[in-house]
Amino acid sequence: MNLFFVMQIFCNTFNLLKINNYELRSNHTNLLKQINMYNKLLLSGACLLAFFATSQTTIFEDNFESGGGNWTLNSGGFGSNDWIVNNAYLGGFFASTPNQPGAITNSPNSNYLHIHNASLACASLSECQALFLAGSGGDKTAMMTNNISTVGMTDVTFDFYYLCGGMVGTTYGNVEYSTNNGVTWTAASPNYAGTPTWTAQSLTNVAWDNQAQLKFRFHWFEGTSGSDPAFSVDQVLITGIAGGGNNITTTNDVTPASWCFNSTETGTVNFNATGTFTAGNVYTAELSDASGSFTAPTAIGTLASTANGNLSINTTMPAGTPAGTGYRVRVVASAPATTGTDNTADLVIHALPSVTLGLLPDVCVYTPSFELTQGSPAGGGYSGNGVVFGFYNAADAGVGSHAVTYTYFDGNGCEGSAMQLINVDACASLDEVSENMLALFPNPTKNTFTLKGELAIEKVEIVDISGKTVITFKSSTTIFDVSSLNSGAYFVRVQTANGTKTVQLIKE
């Protein structure tokens, strides 16, 4: 029975009792007290009914009499079966679509949303009703074109009429919802099949309450077999209770709003809670994934409190969270369970810059100081034992293996680094080399130099002070032409059967 009419009955009864109250006032005092109490109960009940009758809010409705303008049909689908809106019920070579019950507007043959066999010539064969072509691999959706907002609402309910013959597990339809503008979808209903007549359906889910970007779609899965009629829908109605229950709104001032990958950042999430929260309640700030989905949120901070109003949670953004540009934050409560809206603005985790450091040359302890240029991208800085303002001084580092680090900061303030080892050798002097049966002369030289020793020379390399090999000699000659080199200091690296020796060479 309509709540408005129930309320009228209560009110009429209340008025009748008022009259009886007046007539019995002088003679029936005890009865009068009972009637007065009954009057108050009836009045309270009428007010309560009035509240429920007026607090229901229609958020969205569509009976498809104006076509399918509120829906995006067949997006991402394939196969021969399409969603369509029309009022085709009769005719053709197959069974007709069942007439609608009287509860549906403009029944028994009003416009409705349904799957039909798109491979048939509808106009000529009159087969645009709810018939499908089995085995065509159909997978089609009819999605609400625009989001709806349920912010400040509870008990959001999705009502509609449907029919679907199909086959359980093979050919069926269902309802899905999204709370992030269609980025991700979640099943909201069982799989509909084996229902060849129009049936009323009512769905509700707390995940639909207090959402800024709620959207529904009907999904048709077509297998290799199944019976007509295909998935059909009419009389869609979405309602909620405005201002009912508890609400949490996350404000758009989350800190930090951006940070670098793999850094552990502390910050604050501010929110406003309305309603009554009970003992043991814990507010939890949750971080979405990089697409803004809260399907598997990450808890980043908690506040144990039953307070409402403007509140804050101290947060820690966990290191290792993947880089992305679409993160959101929301606050949920535990007692009673309440899901808040997100902060409405994207948070960004910046990827770290890609940094490389090329191989560093082996140098002699007496090698003159030289500039380091192997780091990329340009603009970073070098550090390590022997490094001074971007130059390497082997004498300062001393003999041994030393780490050199190149660090670079990008425009987002994110840091990347790379490390290489540089070996500093004592490197025998010319006299010492001679004592070890190897002689190099003349040094300095303009065009050529000669190497003599008791051991066979296998390879000779000329290396510049940056560590780059500029000439390689592989022949057994003892005279080496360096006339093509620019003037400056070089290293001659001689490989023999007894090992490798490095000697400094000055090219005039």
Are 339 and 283 in contact, with CB atoms under 8 Å apart? no
* Cα 503 from Cα 494, distance rounded (Å): 8
Per CATH, 63-242 and 430-507 having the same topology is answered no
Q: Is the pLDDT confidence value at 386 over 60?
A: yes
pLDDT in tens, 415-466: 999 999 998 887 754 444 444 567 888 888 999 998 887 777 888 999 887 7
CA distance 333 to 340: 8
Mean pLDDT computed over every residue of the chain: 83
pLDDT value for 244: 59
DSSP assignments along 122-156, one per residue: HHHH---SS---TTS--EEEEEESS-B--TTEEEE
Mean pLDDT of 99-111: 93
Predicted confidence (pLDDT) per residue in 112-123, tens digit? 999 988 876 565
Q: Where are the domains of the chain?
A: 3-55, 63-242, 247-350, 370-421, 430-507
499 C-beta neighbours (distance < 10 Å), count: 9
CATH 3.40.50.2000 fits 430-507, yes or no: no
CATH topology assigned to domain 63-242:
Jelly Rolls (2.60.120)
| Token pair belonging to 274 | 């309305």
**What 3-state class would DSSP assign to 364?**
strand
From residue 111, give the alpha-carbon distance in Å to each of 59, 62, 66, 86, 222: 21, 11, 8, 5, 23
Q: Which of 245, 238, 235 is nearest to 203 (CA)?
A: 238
pLDDT per position as a tens digit, 243-297: 656 889 999 999 999 999 999 899 999 999 988 888 899 999 999 999 999 999 9
Name residue 58's beta-bridge partners: 239
What's the DSSP call for residue 26?
T
Residue 363 has pLDDT above 90, yes or no: no
pLDDT tens-digit series, residues 201-258: 999 998 898 788 999 999 999 888 888 899 999 999 999 987 656 889 999 999 999 9
In CATH, 247-350 is 2.60.40: yes
pLDDT in tens, 182-198: 999 999 999 999 999 99
329-346: per-residue pLDDT in tens? 999 999 888 899 999 999
d(CA 344, CA 304) in angstroms, rounded, equals: 24
Burial 11-41 (b: 16+ CB within 10 A, else e): eeebeebeeebeeeeeeeeeebeebeeebee
Q: Is the alpha carbon torsion for 112, 118, 121, 125 positive or negative?
A: negative
Name the helix (H) or strand (E) containing 259: strand 258-260
